[in-house]
Amino acid sequence: MKTSVKKIVAIIAAMAMTLCLFAGCGSSDSASSDGPVTIKFGIHVANPAEQEPVTNQIVTDFNAANDGQYTVEFEAADTETHSKNMKLEAEDGTLPDIFWIDASEAPEYAEAGIIADLSGYLADNADIDEALNGMENAFNNGDMQYGLPYQCNVQGFYYNKALFDKAGVDYPTNATTQDEFMEMVNKLNAAGITPISIGSKNSAFAMWPFNEYLTRYGWDNLEGTYNTPEMVKCFEKIAALTEAKAFNDTVATSEYFDAKQAFLDGNAAMFGSGQWDCGACDEALGENVAFWWGPQFTDTDAPQEMAMKVPSAPIVVNAASMEDPAKAAAITAFLNYYYGPEAAATSFAGSIFPATNYADVAATETQYAMNSMIEALGDGWQSPTAAPDQTLSPAVQEALYDAIFGVIQGNYSPADALDKMDAAAAN
């Protein structure tokens, strides 16, 4: 069972957290005038060099540029273990100086006083505030800026143009409707091509293309309940894909990574994911890879000209570390670098969209997947402040993932799936 962050609040209060914070005990390495100030970066992958190479390169470059003054070291673990570690370390005051945290968990860390308010940082660094261009608003609760976006996520469907050509199917466009999408699915099946590769065993990963579905059925207008007529229609569209045999036969037993590999190997026409897979798609498919938001729907009044360019989970700063002037200076220097133009260029070179926008930073001609995303963004459509799944508490977030893949696997009706979300919210 996961340790509740609400429990952390009570524990910290009982332990007189304020004394700990102002003593700087939350940092694992104290600042020293005898050498570089070391700051720990808690990251959600076990091997940053292999699993988050862009972030790893940014850290490497920062360390080289600040040799002898500042050093960033990773505290690395897989996502689930990282989440547990952060909760345990919050209890005993050993959190890293900065750390990645799931957007569903961060607000309770803020409520507990564990993480720092970065409003002052943004006020002091107007160029970075401008470059973030509102991307940071997803992590502002009205009282404090409790985090900054780790990256920018662009989510939707990759597709293999060669397989569409083989089946004689026109490529999807930003204006493609649900009915047209279903025709594509039927024609791809008729040609013996799996339309969509998906793996439900990593539902938190595999649900990304469905954030657009939720947004285009008015997710941001929901109040008090998830089982609404609009959301039922949304989930009915997902169920229709199963009925049309849009997915691979192994959807119930496949991992997200299996589904991704099937797409990269040319065994499926489409794959739902985000910008983090641009590099892999370029390497495997080259100029045959393209990107699409997903279908527009005609049975709803919700806006359809919606893109899905959203902040990923936040980076947050240990409040205790900011009480140590040397640590605070090191953290500020790293944030300046991480959100500056040099790191943005590193991100683009690694086919990752940074959270910032700088006019002279762009993709190269041979970054086909990324350029297709940029083209999709060219219509200038509005994006939500945050992806729908990142606006939920942990329990309801899990219920959403279960609801989507329960419908895909035929375990729940759309209404039953949404009832389960309401039950999770009530508890």
CB 97 within 8 A of CB 321: yes
Q: What is the mean pLDDT of each run of 10 residues along the chain (427 residues)?
A: 46 39 41 78 95 96 97 95 96 96 92 96 97 93 95 95 98 96 98 95 83 96 94 98 96 91 98 92 97 97 96 95 97 98 94 90 90 91 92 92 95 97 95
Whole-angstrom CA distances from 109 to 86, 95, 136, 146, 318 are 10, 12, 17, 9, 10
DSSP 388: G
* Contact residues for 397 (Cβ-Cβ < 8 A; gap 6+): 104, 204, 389, 390
Residue 245: is it exposed, middle or buried by C-beta count within 10 angstroms (0-12/13-18/19+)?
middle
CB 289 within 8 A of CB 158: yes
User: Rounded to whole angstroms, how far apart are CA atoms 19 and 234?
Assistant: 50
Whole-angstrom CA distances from 189 to 96, 239, 246, 347 are 50, 17, 8, 37
Whole-angstrom CA distances from 17 to 9, 114, 216, 369 are 9, 9, 43, 47
> Hunting for tokens 């026409």 — which residue is that?
269
Position 56, amino acid: N
* Reduced DSSP (H G I as helix, E B as strand, rest coil) percent helix, strand, coil of the chain, to 5: 50, 15, 35
User: Rounded to whole angstroms, how far apart are CA atoms 359 and 380?
Assistant: 16
What SS3 string covers 102-147? CCCCHHHHHHCCCECCCHHHHHHCHHHHHHHCCHHHHHECCCCECC
Identical fold for domains 5-149+313-354 and 153-309+370-426, yes or no, is yes
Domain borders along the chain are: 5-149+313-354, 153-309+370-426
Backbone angles phi, psi at 333, to 5 degrees: -60, -40
User: Rounded to whole angstroms, how far apart are CA atoms 196 and 177?
Assistant: 17
Structure tokens, 24: 């700087």
Q: What is the pTM of this model?
A: 0.82
User: Rounded to whole angstroms, how far apart are CA atoms 104 and 113?
Assistant: 16
- CATH number for the domain running over 153-309+370-426: 3.40.190.10
User: Rounded to whole angstroms, how far apart are CA atoms 130 and 132?
Assistant: 5
pLDDT value, residue 126: 96
pLDDT value, residue 35: 83
CB 7 within 8 A of CB 38: no
- What topology is assigned to 5-149+313-354 in CATH? D-Maltodextrin-Binding Protein; domain 2 (3.40.190)
User: Rounded to whole angstroms, how far apart are CA atoms 345 and 363?
Assistant: 9
Task: Name which of 373, 206, 210 is nearest 289 in CA terms.
Answer: 373
Whole-angstrom CA distances from 61 to 281, 343, 372 are 26, 9, 28
Backbone angles phi, psi at 408, to 5 degrees: -60, -40
User: CA-based diameter of the chain, in Å?
Assistant: 70
CB 231 within 8 A of CB 300: no
Task: Give the three-class secondary structure for 379.
Answer: coil
DSSP 275: G
The alpha carbon torsion through 19, 119, 344, 368 (nearest 10 deg) reads 110
pLDDT value, residue 33: 54
CB 215 within 8 A of CB 388: yes
